Chains A and B, each alone.
Chain A
Amino acid sequence: DQQVKQNSPSLSVQEGRISILNCDYTNSMFDYFLWYKKYPAEGPTFLISISSIKDKNEDGRFTVFLNKSAKHLSLHIVPSQPGDSAVYFCAASARYNFNKFYFGSGTKLNVKP
């Protein structure tokens, strides 16, 4: 059961523009969400998180938005840089399930110089 979905397998953006990566979930019990970045042959690197008590969290060029009613979150990268080219995964967990995270299938971002 795919409880977390990233429906765009890839995204191409021009350097300096905004990248918007989307993620949908089905389980209303999810209350913590993470975004990871992954380069080939490396493990995922934590980027940014958001708790369900917030609807926005910022960290430098990265902002995550959470729309609980739509069960949707998005990651905005502004401005996009070529070094941001990687696969981005969103992940979700529920309080009752400790550290069991459900991951989306990933979106491959390509930032063109």
Chain B
Amino acid sequence: KAGVTQTPRYLIKTRGQQVTLSCSPISGHRSVSWYQQTPGQGLQFLFEYFSETQRNKGNFPGRFSGRQFSNSRSEMNVSTLELGDSALYLCASSPDGVSQETQYFGPGTRLLVL
């Protein structure tokens, strides 16, 4: 089975712009979660989608949003980019998103905001 894929791998944007990142989960996985990793920080949970519905949300401002499509592929969008949004954005998938289920991560999208 192919793993979790994320596109693009690298992105450079300027302050005030918006960006959309894409994630394709492992085939058959229906839960997709997004995380932000900044230098020296662990992974911070952004949100989780299951069956096209946002089921869980972290403590991020409304500039961060996402969606999931019927084929379980997910996108996240960041509007009005700030310098502090520079980070590695990771997507993880799991079969059903139920408790005690392992998440599998993609390689991440490295976003640099200038």
Mark interface residues in A90-113 (1 if CB within 8 Å of B CB, else 0): 010111111111111110000000
Are the CB atoms of B102 and A98 closer together than 8 Å? no
Collect the chain B residues with CB atoms within 8 Å of residue A32's CB.
99-100
- Give the size range of A's interface with the partner: 20 to 34
A46 to B101, CA, bound (A): 12
Contacts of A97 in B (CB 8 A): 56, 99
Q: Which of A51, A89, A96, A101 contacts B33 (CB 8 A)?
A: A101
- Beta-carbon contact of B40 and A46 below 8 Å: no
- Are A103 and B4 in contact (CB-based, < 8 A)? no
Cα A46 to Cα B43 with chains together (Å) = 14
A97 to B31, CA, bound (A): 13
Q: What's the minimum C-beta distance from B30 to chain A, rounded to whole angstroms?
A: 11
Interface string of A67-79 (1 = CB under 8 A from B): 0000000000000
Contact B48 A99 (CB under 8 A): yes
Q: Is A4 interfacial (CB 8 A cutoff)?
A: yes
Q: How far is the CB of B58 from chain A (nearest CB, A)?
A: 8
Q: How far is the CA of A70 from the CA of B113 in the complex (A)?
A: 41
* Inter-chain contact B105/A45, CB cutoff 8 Å: yes
Residues 62-101 of B, flagged 1 when their CB comes within 8 A of A and 0 if not, give 0000000000000000000000000000101010011111
B55 interfacial by beta-carbon distance below 8 Å = yes
For residue B50, which residues in chain A have a CB less than 8 angstroms away from its CB? Answer: 98-99
**Chain A hits for B107, CB < 8 A:** 41-43
Whether A101 pairs with B105 at a CB distance below 8 angstroms is no
Chain A residues near B6: list those with CB within 8 A: 43
> 9 interchain pairs (CB within 8 A)?
A41-B110, A43-B6, A43-B106, A46-B102, A46-B103, A97-B99, A98-B50, A103-B42, A105-B42
Interface residues of B (CB under 8 A from A): 4, 6, 31, 33, 35, 40-45, 48, 50, 55-56, 58, 90, 92, 94, 97-108, 110
